[in-house]
Structure 1
Amino acid sequence: MLEATPESSVSREHFLTTVKGLRHVVEPAKLEKSLSTVIGRHSYLASTRIPLERLLELHAAVTDGRDDPLLMTKAYSHLNYDPGFMGRTFLAGALSLDEAISLLCRYMKVNSDLCTLKLQTTPESATLRITPAAGYSGAHEQLDAMVYSFSRILVALGIQSIDLIRLNHVPPLAIQDQYHRLFPAAVHFGGREPAIQFSPEQLNRPLPWEACPVEKLARRERRLKQLQGQPNWLESVEILIPTLSRRGEAHIDRCANLLAVSPRSLQRHIRAEGSTFRDILDQSRRKLARNYLSKGYSNEATASLLGYRQTAQFYRAFKEWFGCSPSEYQHSPPP
């Protein structure tokens, strides 16, 4: 479980987005007074990170004197979940819904230390687990709002049917109906941790947008590396390769530039983790080729997505990887 620390924080963007939602449900004078009380003379809003405790204190301040445990969720209901907006965010670095959810999970820490996300799948179901940080499992109202937001994001990404939304507490019976009206699916109370469950068949659905500029994805990756105690350079390269490959830019100079290091430094970091850029590129292309073909992409489209200028180059590489042609692989993939 992620541990809360005195340095637990949220991004400045996340804090300001929360304030934006609160403006729809809190009287202006009360919100401004609460902000003044919480932020005070501190220069938090000039920083890229704001202590998580300040966000929780803001919630306590705006709800003081109000008996509305769904206030924060109502605030989050006013945020932008339009699919077109999602297609302009870093999530557009994904081609399919499962890839977008993977990015959402990976960069949760960039937004907030309140919880972590993990997608678990079985043949019968897919579950997005929301695990509160140690010490914050009782922050029910903030966690409920986050779960609500994730459920709306999933719908915007193309999940057509959410089976259930599980919350980790049991609200008073008198207000449970409000949860059912506000959330986009049936709500179950009293689970060990919050979760959103849906059918796994939806995960392979392609996303109806053009890939975002790779710089948006790289910006998230750089922020994540700043927050990691021990950055994993191999993972960072693997994250960028799919988008770079589609643009024909999957080379070390471009990757290093996006990660704000020199090519020599990037290669040194990768070698320290037991690999090379060429090996990562080859392994990533191999994995992506299997993924794209399994999702029904044509040989020509797969070759283009992997950055090959000619389909014949892809054919040769594929035969080296799997000992058969892409067409043969699609008809009877190896175990």
Structure 2
Amino acid sequence: MTTLADLHRPGIATHFARVLVSRATRLGVPEAQLLQAVRLNRELLEEGRVRISPVQLGALMRMVWRELDDELMGFGAGAHRFGTFALMARQMVDSATLGEALRYSVRFYNLTSPALRWQLRESGPCELALSLTEPAADPDHLLEEFMLLIWHRFCNWLIGERIPLQRTAFRFAAPAHRAEYRLMFPGPVQYGQAVSSIQVDGAWLRAPVIRSRRDLRRYLQRLPDEWFVKQIFADSVSARVLRALADASADLSLEELSGQWHLSSRTLHRQLKREGSSFRRLREQYRRDRAEALLLEGNGPIGEVAQSLAMTEPAFSRAFKLWTGMSPLAYRRARRR
């Protein structure tokens, strides 16, 4: 079971990758091909303490989509051919408001999908509910989890704001990996409900859709990775902090940055907290993402990777083991195998 300590490490539990690999293998996709996509071997995939990156899970999910020609990844009653989401999203992005976009998406999938039944309740709190026509095809509930996650994240992107979840409900009992929901569905989560759903303030239905078809083309190119990262919108304080960290190769403190921006460190900390973030977490996120790229792409000494992140080698090795459960050298070897 995922522990709260695990959640302080960036990344995603290997649980989701294990379920995807198991299902795709049963449907005829070679396991070696799948593991190569996620850049893990079987031993690391089974290791509960290892956390993978959004890029790894995204690469695996993309491969399963294409090999099965099914965006439901074999977990539904019938397939959604590759490109179904893009077709629907092109119409949603032309909507004037979020409510109009959601009403279209519900009609689209209820007319075209043999696997999913969506219901949108607009009176009082807005509730988007999902039922599977064959729930037995999704025994680990991965499809239900991903569909609710995707719809919340895509709606956030459409209006350029993070919509707070008032409640997330699941029809099944609390799973062993339920601690991951603190990252996936921040807010109250209930189990054993009549239907799986997400609930938000109904006022969000009136929010204008601000994205264009050109924006959507770029968004679709980043899928599904985009669904598994913490959403940071371009005009947010968090996005500005990440850009500043990249410019300084992470050699920057909260006090230094707040001084550059002519703010007090307390004010900057407060602004980040309102976005559900912190300077420390953003710096860790930048360092881990950059470290993974350097370890995978290059053959240089670990000390050079540490130096490029403004860290000593011992400090970097300790931090990287906390993030991934492995030393940098072991991680490089495992990923390349």
Q: TM tier, shorter chain?
A: 0.3 to 0.5
TM-score, with normalisation over the residues of structure 2? 0.37
Q: Considering only CA atoms, is the larger Rg found in Structure 1 or Structure 2?
A: 1
TM-score normalized by structure 1? 0.37
